[in-house]
Amino acid sequence: MILKNASILVVDDDPDVLTAVRLLLKTEVKEVITEKNPENLRWHLNKDHFDLILLDMNFTSSIHTGNEGLFWLNEIKKLKTDSAVIMITAYGDIDLAVRSLKEGAADFVVKPWHNEKLISIIKDSLRRKESKTSLTPGLYSDSIIGKELLGESEVMQQIFYKVEKIAPTDANILILGENGTGKDLVAKAIHQHSLRSEKPYIKVDVGALTESLFESELFGHKRGAFTDAREDRTGRFETANGGTLFLDEIGNISLQQQAKLLSVLQNRQINRLGSNEIISIDIRLICATNVSISELANENRFRKDLIYRINTVEIVMPPLRKRGNDILLLAKHFVRLYCNKYIKPALEFDNKAIEKLMSYHYPGNVRELQYTIERAVIMADEDMLQAKDLIFSPIESPMASDNEPVEMKLSTIEKNTILKVIEKNNGNITKAAKELGLTRTALYRRLSKYDI
């Protein structure tokens, strides 16, 4: 469909939006019809043919408040199943707009938009309609998406699309998901596709910070502010100024730490410890946690006002066991990666190995798969990886069944327990030692003892 031959209907209750779109498109397309009242949609669709419809997500006069866009999208699809519909949305409705893609929308555009971007989205939607191809996110050759963050499953394609849409905004992002699902890669991808991509990207594992280090690490300190503060230090907020700050494992910080963080996010100002100087900061905030949103909403654990502050848009990373053929896609990627790293000839999986890969439940998610493939490549003696070469992590395995031999030596039990707790805490020795009831020094002695 050539844009010049297109007939477009714009439905929005904001007259300024209607005027702006009409002026933008009147020289670009064959016809632009604007409509303020969505109740008149049926009349327009029965009267005329439209190649594309721009539809607002919310109408203040409608009884379907909050889901107006989805309601009218479904009405359009009932009357004109071949209509290409682009949803018009605001930052806070992006999750709803992404849901609209599953219900038949061709795309969505976030207000306020750049005119060139809107025209590009309209062209792409018309082109897809004509070729009858499905929506696939644009993967850039220099992007972490397609290089490190891989996935052909529907759920991952939706995540890629969401990243592409929200990255150019300054909306605060909360990434949820189990350990090992790739939350940090999504955070990097958002920064990479943002308008701040040339500025710093700073990651902080806030869940690992003690009460005494929290303020110093995030906000900085002046010399002499506390014992061992021998020189001025710039905090992570200042370091990330102009760019993106990624706070990982935010679900693990204390209520006291949450109060300090909330104050900074509300005011966008910090004070270094030991200083009265107010420093303004300009950051794009991304947070991540393996805690579910329902657990996070427990006010005994996490402040709801902070959740609202960090969660303009939410991305939920799926566990690997729910990603279907992505398992084999990732496994082949890791084989190529580690064959190159360890100067090994190209390796392939035999059928039994593929069957084993696809039937395993991956409690450790992508991280567990990666470590399993790395170990298999290192130990491989043949040009085919077999099922016996795939040894999944014992710290992730379910308990042995009654008819399986169980190693009951005390040293083995202690070693496996240490491995499991370290993995649970993402390699953080301080937190692992605390959970095991050991000092860091005692835990290091045991790591040395068991050659871990």
pLDDT at residue number 386: 93
Question: Quick check: is 402 in a domain?
Answer: no
Residues 204 and 237 both lie in one domain: yes
- Of all helices (H) and strands (E), which one includes residue 86? strand 84-89
Work out how many domains the chain is built from and give that number.
4
Positive or negative torsion for Cα 60, 61, 66, 70: negative
- Coil, strand, or helix at residue 314? strand
pLDDT at residue number 139: 41
**Containing structural domain, residue 195:** 154-316
pLDDT at 164 over 70: yes
Of the listed ranges 39-53, 176-190, 302-316, 401-415, the one predicted with least confidence: 401-415
Domain boundary among 316, 344, 359: 316
pLDDT at residue number 93: 66
Residues 293 and 372 both lie in one domain: no
> What average pLDDT does range 63-76 have in this prediction?
74
Residues 309 and 164 both lie in one domain: yes
Q: What tens digit of pLDDT does each residue of 170-181 get?
A: 889 999 999 999
Question: Quick check: is 145 in a domain?
Answer: no
Residues 200 and 106 both lie in one domain: no
pLDDT at residue number 285: 96
**pLDDT > 70: what percent of the chain?**
89
CATH number at residue 23: 3.40.50.2300
pLDDT at residue number 106: 84
Residues 176 and 106 both lie in one domain: no
Burial class (CB in 10 A: 0-12, 13-18, 19+), 155: middle
Query: What is the number of alpha carbons within 13 Å of residue 191 lying toward its C-beta?
Result: 23
Question: Quick check: is 435 in a domain?
Answer: yes
pLDDT at residue number 409: 58
Residues 329 and 297 both lie in one domain: no
> What average pLDDT does range 443-451 have in this prediction?
75
CATH number at residue 430: 1.10.10.60
- Coil, strand, or helix at residue 363? coil
pLDDT at residue number 142: 57
What is the pTM assigned to this prediction?
A: 0.63
Dist CA 257 CA 216 (whole Å) = 12
Q: What tens digit of pLDDT does each residue of 388-408 get?
A: 999 987 665 443 333 444 444
Q: What tens digit of pLDDT does each residue of 103-148 get?
A: 788 888 888 888 888 898 898 888 777 755 443 444 444 578 888 8
Question: Quick check: is 395 in a domain?
Answer: no
pLDDT at 156 over 70: yes
pLDDT at residue number 58: 81
Residues 166 and 90 both lie in one domain: no
**pLDDT > 90: what percent of the chain?**
43
CATH number at residue 330: 1.10.8.60
Residues 173 and 281 both lie in one domain: yes
Residues 159 and 305 both lie in one domain: yes
Domain boundary among 316, 331, 366: 316
Dist CA 136 CA 148 (whole Å) = 18
